[in-house]
Chain A
Amino acid sequence: MREDLLWVEKYRPKRIADVIGNEEAKSAFTDWLKNKHRSKKAILLYGPPGVGKTTLVNAAAHEFGFRVIEMNASDARSEKAICKVAGPATAFVALDTFSSESKGNVLFMDEVDGIAGNEDRGGVSTILRLIEESRIPVIMAANDPDIDKLRPLKKVSALVRFHQVRIPLIIAMLQEICQKEHIEAEFEALERIAENSQGDVRSAINDLQSLAEASRKLTLQDTVGLSARNKDVGMDETLGGYFSAKSLLEASMRLSRSSVDYDELLMAIGDNLPLRYRDPAELAEAYDFVSQADVFRGRIGTENWHLLRYFFNSLAMAAAVSPGSYQPFSLISPPIRVITLFWTKGRRTMLNNICGKIGQRCHVSRATAKTDVVPYVKAMLSRRKADEIVSWLELDNEEVEFLGKLNRL
């Protein structure tokens, strides 16, 4: 039901012929998939986001009768995880392969360039081994094939490059959607959306939906906001728009147009959710989506920014758990964690200095001093037999007083 709200899902191509653009890449891929005697067991589809790589794989598999076993960026792709999911799938040929309807399984690993960090340790070497031993076709998709860690995968795979979808093709597709949705759209407005999308079909459809869904009319004037995307939108404005969003798409748009640091945004949304949802079941569902977003934020790190849309999608889902139940409330902003860190900075600095002195004397790290020594020093100070230890540790009066009042570390 929720998927139908998004036109990108509603109009997601079901057949190969419905995927627009990249005709040459489409035929190269389908030729590879249809061929029973492939020279390479794996294929790597690469190109910018939103040009139809994933859509083509699903459409082709559907059309040729393959069942897709997919591992995308939301799954952990460590050696263990890949072996667990893909190992059995690639080692055996499914029994229904011998029936006329099914051609068996294909393994599809989306966003392979996103395999990174500790969670995905050993991922690439496991995929390589998997390809070598696989008895089923292995399909991979990536946005950036030029990163070093993908080099070994490129050597063993057939490569198919996808290009940006051309503006006239996007316009033609938008015209078709407008017709199906009974939207009166000015040609110049569609032109503007297509040009603004920079070859990304997904973002063009999202823009069209956000601009035209409500009024069923689209003029060039309506598209003026598209170029204002880089405008600074602060925390309060973002949170206000996000929590009052009437649809998944609106929430997603509010997030993508925000200029707030993503970590702070995540914390602020987490803090405000209990004020937004009074029903515990709804609150639990919303927190579940926020935790998913947190996982994606971790996977994005500092370089995998192509995963940002998954982060936004999960956060947007949290706002769209129950759009009808929205009641205005006072926002908590900035995030409680940021405020707490601000207020406790003096205390943390003092404790850190004391731990440094203890560490120097006892030859332990500050962390060990904090957990293993400070509680005993505090106990000694409370028994008034501490002059010797105070002078040995070179603690001043302020620090002794601080330790005396310290309730918890």
Chain B
Amino acid sequence: MVVLNKQGFKLPRVEKDKFILLLRLGLEYDRAKGTFCVGSYNNIERLTNTIAEILGEDEVAFSQTCIHCGKDFACSECKYAESCATRNLPFHCVCPRCLKSGGKLEDTR
């Protein structure tokens, strides 16, 4: 499994049709940096499957951003990952450390 940084990640060069498909599914391409990032989350499951296919992996995972400390972490660190409907998708969450220390949501606002 590959863990991608949702702020920007690189993909191997793909055919035109595949590239168009990626953009249609919600990926954005930064021509200057040559990196991709997720712009729309409406087809996120299909998008991650397509990326996995391009990378030749069974599964790809995105890094998660903690809304308390702002640090990135992986879903594999979370004990609720098994029952999470959005596991490995690039969304905000609370990291295990902040959850244990009982950080207040109010502080993040």
Asked if chains A and B come from one complex, the reply is yes
Is B41 interfacial (CB-CB < 8 Å)? yes
What secondary structure prevails in chain A residues at the interface with B? helix
Q: Known: A15-B109, A24-B41, A176-B105. Is A163-B91 also a contact (CB below 8 A)?
A: yes
8 A Cβ contacts from A6-35 to B: 15, 17-18, 20-25, 28
- Chain A residues closer than 8 Å to B71, beta-carbon distance: none
Contact (Cβ within 8 A) B78 A168: yes
Q: How many residues of A contact B (CB 8 A)?
A: 28
Q: How far is the CA of A25 from the CA of B85 in the complex (A)?
A: 16
Smallest beta-carbon distance B78→chain A, Å: 7
Contact among A25, A172, A199 with B105 in the assembled complex (CB-CB below 8 Å)? A172
Say whether A166 contacts B91, CB under 8 Å: yes
Option from B42, B44, B86, B108 in Cβ contact (under 8 Å) with A164: B86
Contact A172 B41 (CB under 8 A): no
A283 at the interface (CB under 8 A from B): no
B42 / chain A contacts, CB cutoff of 8 Å: 159-161
Tell me which residues across on chain A come within 8 A of B86, comparing CB atoms: 163-164, 166
Check if A24 sits within 8 Å of B91, measured CB to CB.
Answer: yes
A195 and B80 in contact, given A164-B86, A168-B99 (Cβ under 8 angstroms): yes
- Cβ A176 vs Cβ B106 within 8 A: yes
B83–A168 contact, CB under 8 A?
A: no
Number of interface residues of B (CB under 8 A): 27
B27 within 8 Å of A (CB atoms): no
B92 touches A23 (CB 8 A): yes
Q: Which residues of A contact B102 (CB under 8 A)?
A: 175
The minimal Cβ–Cβ distance linking A383 to chain B, given in whole angstroms, is 76
> What is the 8 Å Cβ interface bit string for chain A, positions 149-193, against chain B (1 contact, 0 not)?
000000000011101101111011101100100000000000000
Question: Would A173 and B105 count as touching, CB distance under 8 A?
Answer: yes
Q: In the complex, what residue of chain A is closest to B85 when comparing beta carbons? A: A164
Contacts of A20 in B (CB 8 A): 105
Check: B93 CB closer than 8 A to any chain A CB.
yes
Q: Which of A18, A163, A166, A168 contacts B109 (CB 8 A)?
A: A18
Mask of B63-76 contacts with A, CB within 8 angstroms, 1/0: 00001000000000
Question: Chain B CB within 10 Å — which of A166, A167, A199 has the most?
Answer: A166
B92 → A minimal CB distance (Å):
4
Can you list the 6 inter-chain pairs with the closest CB atoms, starting with the nearest?
A: A168-B94, A17-B109, A167-B80, A23-B92, A161-B42, A164-B85
29 intermolecular pairs with C-beta atoms under 8 Å apart? A15-B109, A23-B67, A23-B91, A25-B41, A159-B42, A160-B42, A161-B41, A161-B42, A163-B86, A163-B89, A163-B91, A164-B85, A166-B86, A166-B93, A166-B94, A167-B80, A167-B83, A168-B93, A168-B95, A168-B99, A169-B92, A172-B94, A172-B103, A173-B105, A175-B102, A176-B105, A179-B104, A195-B83, A199-B85
- B residues near A, CB below 8 A? 40-42, 44, 67, 78, 80, 83-86, 89-96, 99, 102-106, 108-109
Interface residues of A, Cβ cutoff 8 Å to B? 15, 17-18, 20-25, 28, 159-161, 163-164, 166-169, 171-173, 175-176, 179, 195, 198-199
New A-B pairs, 4, CB < 8 Å, besides A15-B109, A168-B93 = A24-B41, A166-B94, A175-B102, A179-B104
